[in-house]
Amino acid sequence: MSSMIRDSPLLGAEAPPPHKPCDVSRSMKGRAPVRADLSGSDLQVWSQPRLRTRPGPERPEEGSGMERVLRRCRIQNQLIRECLAECLGVFVLILFGCGSAAQVTTSEERSGQYLSINLGFALGVTFGVFVSRGVSGAHLNPAVSLSLCVLGRHPWMKLPFYVFFQLLGAFLAAATVGLQYYDAIRSYAGGQLTVTGPRATAGIFSTYPADYLSLWGGVVDQVIGTAALLLCLLALGDQRNGSIPDGLQPVLVGSLVLVIGVSMGSNCGYALNPARDLGPRLFTYIAGWGVDVFKAGGGWWWVPIVGPCAGALLGTLIYQLMVEVHHPPLPSECQASCEEASESKMELEAEPHLKSQC
């Protein structure tokens, strides 16, 4: 039983492992928590299990409607599913983030100010995490994926796939923002798309340094910013430093991005994320802003790629050395036998109703 749990890539999502005949005890693991979560949920009708609790007359038969058709498209490969989730997560992040920048810029601060941009990226991250957390773990940032690989918490072989789909999601989102604000940008920029100058619009999509900032200063800024990001992210994920109610973490990660934007944004726009910056930059390059998007700021474009990666590792190192490595050892570090035992006991806790049967 314990091995079965260990093999389930989806324990988080409270679902049983695929490709196995459904037996009662497993369906318990899958169902019980769902019910629990649903008591009084305001979104209850949006989740299948709740539906099955509706009165017979108005209760649609299993999987009726669109869902039934769509289920034919089901992909079972775990890696592909994770890549799609990362792609959609970053898409949401950039759609809201760059969208808020577009709104503030094209409305000339009548419909929001700098704080709105901070909120746009913060809540963009929050909902990007909600969209992907159960499937891919919601990295949404190559620098985060890199740190997790270095820490040994994420397989290296997945890294290139995650990074590519993060980039793709950012590119597609930038294109969507460009479409949604097409009229606005054209009327604001007076027809011509410029990277610098009074009516520059490239800043809507990717980051450019302030006039006073040296390249070296930009690298320092990106390193410090991303180090702060990882340092706090690891604290949020460190079970031995106090746990966090499920569903609050995406909000906290968003607040973290908010405070970084409020305290580290004016130098060069807190990219902190190679995908967030390069994806939209590629879009602007293609969509008419031209090669200036790479030339501007003295060839600034590489800083939001290299800086965050270095900063992420620095922040990880700091949190590890000052807090995490000093936690007393987890039982997981005992010999397997002990673990085996505990694992199987875990089962019992998860399914009290089976206890008597054991």
- For every residue of the chain, which 3-state class applies, written as one string? CHHHHHHCCCHHHCCCCCCCCCCHHHHHHHHHHHHHHHCCCCCHHHCHHHHCCCCCCCCCCCCCHHHHHHHHHCCCCHHHHHHHHHHHHHHHHHHHHHHHHHHHHHCCCCCCCHHHHHHHHHHHHHHHHHHHHHHHCCCCCHHHHHHHHHHCCCCHHHHHHHHHHHHHHHHHHHHHHHHHCHHHHHHHHCCCCCCCCCCCCHHHCCCCCCCCCCHHHHHHHHHHHHHHHHHHHHHHHCHHHCCCCCCCHHHHHHHHHHHHHHHHCCCCCCCCCHHHHHHHHHHHHHHHHCCHHHHHHHHHHHHHHHHHHHHHHHHHHHHHHHCHHHCCCCHHHCCHHHHHHHHHHHHHHHCHHHHCCC
Of 146, 164, 241, 294, which lies in the binding site for its own copies, with binding defined by CB under 8 A? Answer: 241
Q: Which is nearer to its own copies, 197 or 245 (CB)?
A: 245
Q: Which is nearer to its own copies, 132 or 284 (CB)?
A: 132
CA distance 23 to 12: 19
Q: Which is nearer to its own copies, 16 or 279 (CB)?
A: 16
CA distance 249 to 333: 26
**Does 33 participate in binding its own copies (rule CB under 8 A)?**
yes
**Does 310 participate in binding its own copies (rule CB under 8 A)?**
no
Q: Which is nearer to its own copies, 258 or 296 (CB)?
A: 258
How many residues of this chain bind its own copies (CB under 8 A)? 199
Of 1, 168, 244, 309, which lies in the binding site for its own copies, with binding defined by CB under 8 A? Answer: 244
Region 10-29 residues binding its own copies, contact defined as CB under 8 A? 10-18, 22-24, 26-28
Q: Which is nearer to its own copies, 284 or 316 (CB)?
A: 316
**Does 291 participate in binding its own copies (rule CB under 8 A)?**
no
Closest contact distance (angstroms) between CB of 291 and its own copies is: 26
Q: What are phi and psi of 271, to 5 degrees?
A: -65, -55
Of 167, 170, 208, 246, which lies in the binding site for its own copies, with binding defined by CB under 8 A? Answer: 246
Of 90, 99, 226, 314, which lies in the binding site for its own copies, with binding defined by CB under 8 A? Answer: 99
**Does 322 participate in binding its own copies (rule CB under 8 A)?**
yes
Region 172-231 residues binding its own copies, contact defined as CB under 8 A? 176, 179-184, 186-187, 210, 212-214, 217, 220-221, 224-225, 228, 231
Closest contact distance (angstroms) between CB of 239 and its own copies is: 5
Q: CA angle 331-332-336, nearest 5°?
A: 105
Q: Which is nearer to its own copies, 163 or 260 (CB)?
A: 260
Of 90, 142, 158, 170, which lies in the binding site for its own copies, with binding defined by CB under 8 A? Answer: 158
**Does 251 participate in binding its own copies (rule CB under 8 A)?**
yes
Region 39-78 residues binding its own copies, contact defined as CB under 8 A? 39-56, 58-60, 62-68, 70-71, 73-76, 78
**Does 298 participate in binding its own copies (rule CB under 8 A)?**
no
Closest contact distance (angstroms) between CB of 276 and its own copies is: 15
CA distance 232 to 293: 32
Q: Pseudo-torsion of CA 35, 38, 39, 41, nearest 10°?
A: -170
- The amino acid at residue 237 is G
CA distance 186 to 354: 65
Of 115, 192, 288, 306, which lies in the binding site for its own copies, with binding defined by CB under 8 A? Answer: 115
Closest contact distance (angstroms) between CB of 289 and its own copies is: 20
Q: Which is nearer to its own copies, 66 or 291 (CB)?
A: 66
Of 233, 278, 303, 312, which lies in the binding site for its own copies, with binding defined by CB under 8 A? Answer: 233
Of 191, 197, 198, 243, which lies in the binding site for its own copies, with binding defined by CB under 8 A? Answer: 243
**Does 316 participate in binding its own copies (rule CB under 8 A)?**
yes
